[in-house]
Amino acid sequence: MIVTSVTVRVPAKINLQLAVGPLRPDGYHDLVTVFHAISLFDQISVAPAAADGVTVSGEDAAQVPAGNDNLALKAVAALRAAIPRRGAGTRGLASRGAAPDDTPGVAVTISKRIPVAAGLAGGSADAAAALVACNELWGAGLSQQELCEVAAGVGSDVAFAVLGGTAVGRGRGERLTRALVPPATYHWVLAFADGHLSTSEVYGTLDRLRTLPAPGGRPPRMGDSRPPYPPAPGAPGASGARGAAAASGGAPASGHAAESAATAPELSTQLMAALRAGDPRRLGRSLSNDLQAPAISMFPALRKTLAAGREFGALGALVSGSGPTCFFLARGASHATDLAVALSGAGVCRSVARATGPAPGATVIGPQAP
Ligand code: C5P
């Protein structure tokens, strides 16, 4: 069968934990994060063309770069470069598949539902989908692991969008280990904000906030329960036990995990235990995000959004990644509907959506034959 176009569905992600280490010399931060893919999907089609190009429709389409800055096009170029490398030696490029000479390019069509610059890794999702789609279109036969390796060079969150599910990310977020947890479905409500945040600016704000003196006169450490800057509601920029307890609105817990996270972020044992138990109440209490405080300092309206969700009975409330989307854990499907209606009526966000997780990673849903 000659495949003329391939369509891939790809999920948004939220971070159930995002613990951020110090700034590295390369401008990135070491992370320990728990990625969770949710059922909010973009759809991407690729077809042979004379040259690479992209068209975008749907949510926030005008905000997506259309030229070579588009992350999906960068992913196409990265895969094209990876195929001959991988095929070198006994197996040539032809045996691994490649774009035919007369149509060396790819026309990428992106239909967006994931908002742009919203902390949901929408751009990374599109890049992951482009990798999976071109792998199929060109018959390149790269395994998921090999696609994840190419994805890691395209952006920090791209490999996770290939993998999906729930996974622990380390390094920049690109070194992934699938979370070994029993099957469970969690019900989430997303509150989309009226505005955007730049990921690199939120990381930069975190770095600046961390240089401010703490109440005792020493530089603040991750895990400080009383930060010198306006604390996020319930999550004072802390990872680990303190941040987790605070994120649910409880009192900051004591413990060493958050303190040691100042130099080396650590996986929250509380969060992983909640996931292993499949217990939404414990999960809600265990959510934490070091980027929440800087995101709120740049977008103070988020404080009200998070407070409203808690007031309406969310088991947990957190800024997603670098924001400004907030997500809430509901007790079940009907509570998620109630929560979505209440948040929407409270006027604390631009719009709301329900989603379940975990969702599968980038998945081919339609190669089309002529
Ligand atoms: O890798 P990606 O292009 O998605 O990252 C966007 C920006 O977010 C980076 O340029 C960097 O400023 C920041 N970042 C970071 N540490 C990470 C991931 C991203 O500082 N682990």
Axis crossing angle, helix 122-137 with helix 144-152, rounded to the nearest 10: 130
Residue 203 phi, psi (nearest 5): -60, -40
Mutate to test the pocket of ligand 1, among 24, 29, 31 (most ligand atoms within 8 A of CB): 29
- Determine the atom of ligand 1 nearest the C-alpha atom of 31: 21
What is the predicted pLDDT for the residue at 102? 64
Give the max Cα distance, the chain.
Answer: 70
As averages over each run of 10 residues, the pLDDT of the chain (370 residues) reads 86 98 95 98 97 93 90 97 62 55 85 96 98 96 96 97 98 96 97 96 96 66 43 37 36 31 82 98 98 98 98 98 98 98 97 98 81
Specify whether the CB–CB gap between 322 and 255 falls below 8 A. no
HSE-CB at 295 with a 13 A cutoff on CA atoms is: 31
Spatial separation of the C-alpha atoms in residues 13 and 41, rounded to whole Å: 10
Is 207 designated active site? no
CA nearest ligand 1 atom 9, residue: 200
**Catalytic residue chosen out of the listed positions 42, 52, 126, 157:** 157
- Determine the atom of ligand 1 nearest the C-alpha atom of 172: 21
Q: CB under 8 Å to 244, separation ≥6 — which residues?
A: 17, 253, 268, 270, 271, 285, 286, 287, 288
- Global pTM? 0.87
Cβ of residue 199 lying under 6 Å from some atom of ligand 1 = yes
Is 157 designated active site? yes
Spatial separation of the C-alpha atoms in residues 325 and 192, rounded to whole Å: 5
Cβ of residue 200 lying under 6 Å from some atom of ligand 1 = yes
Tokens of 10: 């790809």
Tokens of 164: 């999906």
Cβ of residue 234 lying under 6 Å from some atom of ligand 1 = no
| Interval between CA 97 and ligand 1 midpoint (Å) | 32
Question: Taking the CB of residue 141, how many other CB atoms lie within 10 A of it?
Answer: 15
Cis peptide before 358 (omega within 30 of 0): yes
Specify whether the CB–CB gap between 352 and 190 falls below 8 A. yes
